[in-house]
Amino acid sequence: MSGKALRRPLIGLGVLLLLVVGTLAILPLLLDTRTMQGYIAQTASHSVGRPVRFASVSVSLLPLPHVTLKGLEVADDPRFGTAPLLRAGEVRVGVRVKPLLSLRIELASITLLDAKVELVEQGGRWNFASLSGPAGSAKPATRTVPGIPGSASMGSVFVSSVGIKNSVVNVRRPGVKNGDLRVEGLDATVSGVGGSDYDIRGDARLEPGGLRLRNIRASVAIRAAGEMPVKVSLEFEGPDIAPLARAFLAPSPSISGPAKGKIDLAGPASRLAGTGVLDLSRLTVSEDRRQCPPPVRRQLILDEVHVPILLKPTSLESAPVTAKLAKGTIAANVTAGLDSSPLVTLGDIKIAGVQLLPILQDYLCQGFAISGPLDLGGDLSMRSADMFGTMNGAGRFRIGAGRVVGEGALKMVRDVLEAGNVFDMALRGKLTGPTKTALDFDSITGSYKIVNGIARTDDLLYQGRDLRVTAAGTYALVDGRTDMKVVATQGRNQLRAQVTGSGGALRVVPTGVSVKEPAEVRKLMDRLLR
């Protein structure tokens, strides 16, 4: 190609560069800040249907032309208060370069930095529901801006999408217990701004608890009246679920452990429903138990906790919750209401091979603690505010070979076997024993029915090598009040007694004794009271 042929394109390119540079050079003049500040505030207010104000406007040319707004505030719906719906320390508005060649100003992007959003829900209505875009064509009309020199003109200040960086969203639901949330470190893109539908994509962190929210996908249909349809999907993961559990569940016992999962929700904003899953590789349940010897802080460990989630507008269901506990497994269908003192229902309970000693003695410090593997099937329901006092249910259980180790149970057995020296008198001798007794058994079986915290059994059977004990009666879960008919059988010898009282103050009243083999009774007593 000849030099003459190259000269023309180079000249054209030079002229284009001069136009661009020249336009950029006069951009601060085009954007006279005082005039532009009023114009942007007016146009932005028209776009969102709320008063908008900011402290200052500045113009930068590099690396690309952009306008910076400082101290932006968008007013809230006055029905929800006087505090701003949105505060942003800085808003960067990108300007398209090509339209500047025609002295036209068009926006390329909007990014909010360090913003703070206050979302409030009252009576099923959210404070951002009344946000509205301008009526008419979706394509903004170009307007001449008073105060800008020449024939410069400007389209709509707002673009269809907005970027959000390192921002905070506070969610408040007055009147709803534990209804407040805080989303921090939000990095997201909001599309559809100024229209009737918002689409949100991003990542954030949920507080309390530091739960990381990833791959957030949300859509909100903004309507002037009625509730807004919402769709949300996200994944979450965190090192410790304890702070979140304290905020939304009972403060005691405390629940901690790493958690991860995902959830999909849809429906009106105040009545969301959906599905998901929560997995905890290790869940630690901790509680201060004053009846325990030091340390009073006791822990129970569950492994591989798997919680399928079915969220309904008035309840949370999980079918089934599964976990490993004390060398065994547990499973149950769980339903919990979403009111201030929810009814929690455990249906189709299946417990297999769970060792009782770590639960009854190490964690609960029960006076009637026993060892051995538990198999159980049944159902339970209770109110979270008073679990034992409101418990109802029924089922059957079997405990495999183990030992009675709780001091309360041991004392009751001693009292039964030594009741009023009935056996001593029958044997015409005096039997004394140390303060401890060890009772080994082959199995304990029975059925139960619980009504308002009172457990009843009519067929409890304790089967040992030399001793068979049956019991029928009631036991109060809250204070240990006991009223039981007990029959202890050894060979052809038998003792019948009524056991009443509570805790460590049980009273054993013999109601009958039959001694056919005194020598065998003495052997049994010597073995049990050693």
Q: Considering just the CA atoms, what is the radius of gyration of the chain in Å? A: 37
Is 368 within a domain?
A: yes
| Residue type, position 418, single letter | E
Q: Are 93 and 31 in contact (CB under 8 A)?
A: no
- pLDDT score of 30: 54
**Bridge partners of residue 376, in order along the sequence:** 351, 397
Question: Has this prediction a pTM greater than 0.85?
Answer: no
Provide the pLDDT for residue 342.
80
Q: Is 116 exposed, middle or buried (0-12, 13-18, 19+ CB in 10 A)?
A: middle
Model pLDDT, residue 29: 55
Helix spans in 179-334 (H): 242-248
Is residue 221 included in any domain, yes or no?
Answer: no
> Which domain does 66 fall in, by range?
8-195
CB distance 179 to 172 below 8 Å: yes
| Per-block mean pLDDT, blocks of 10 residues, the chain (530 long) | 52 49 53 62 72 82 76 88 90 74 67 90 77 49 47 50 89 74 90 78 88 92 68 93 74 86 88 93 91 90 96 90 97 87 91 95 84 97 86 97 78 60 46 52 96 96 88 90 89 84 77 70 54
**Residue 365 CA neighbour count, 13 Å, CB half:** 13
Residue in the block written with tokens 């403060």: 251
Structure tokens at 191: 């599309």
Tokens of 143: 């307007």
User: Quick one: which of 488, 487, 493, 486 has its CA closest to 520?
Assistant: 493
E-state strands within 312-451: 315-325, 328-337, 343-355, 373-383, 392-399, 402-404, 439-441, 443-451
**What sign has the CA pseudo-torsion 501, 505, 509, 515?**
positive
What letter would DSSP give residue 515? -
Q: List beta partners, residue 486.
A: 471, 497
Structural domain count of the chain: 2
| SS3 of 129-198 | CCCCCCCCCCCCCCEECCCCCCCCEECCCCCCEEEEEEEEEEEECCCCCCCCEEEEEEEEEEECCCCCEE
Backbone angles phi, psi at 465, to 5 degrees: -65, -40
Candidates 451, 470, 452, 473; CA nearest to 462 is 470
Please give the full DSSP string across 255-278, using - where no structure is assigned: EE--EEEEEEEEEETTS-EEEEEE
Paired residues of 450 in beta bridges: 393, 455
User: If you write DSSP's letter for every residue of 441-482 in order, what string do you get?
Assistant: ESEEEEEEEEETTEEEEEEEEEE-SS-EEEEEEEEETTT--E
Backbone angles phi, psi at 429, to 5 degrees: -155, 170
d(CA 458, CA 152): 93
Tokens matching residue 413: 């057995």
Domain boundary among 195, 210, 229: 195
Residue 430: count other Cβ atoms within 10 Å of its Cβ.
8
The Cα–Cα gap between 158 and 490 comes to 90
> Using omega within 30 degrees of 0 as the cis cutoff, is the peptide bond preceding 295 cis?
yes
Return the exposure string of 159-171: e unless at least 16 CB atoms fall within 10 Å of the residue's CB, then b: beebbbbebbbee
Residue ending a domain, among 152, 169, 195, is 195
Distance in angstroms (rounded) separating the CA atoms of residues 93 and 95: 7
Scan for tokens 């056996």, then name that residue: 423
Domain assignment of residue 245, yes or no: no
Residue 247: helix, strand or coil by DSSP?
helix
- Whether 378 is covered by a domain: the verdict is yes
Tell me, yes or no, whether 138 lies in a domain. Answer: yes
The token pair that represents 134 in the structure block? 């301008």
**The last residue of a domain, from among 195, 222, 252:** 195
Would you tell me how many other CB atoms lie within 10 Å of the CB of residue 7? Answer: 10
Three-state SS at 368 = coil
Helix (H) or strand (E) holding 284, with range, is strand 273-288
Spatial contact of 20 and 57, defined as CB atoms under 8 Å apart: no
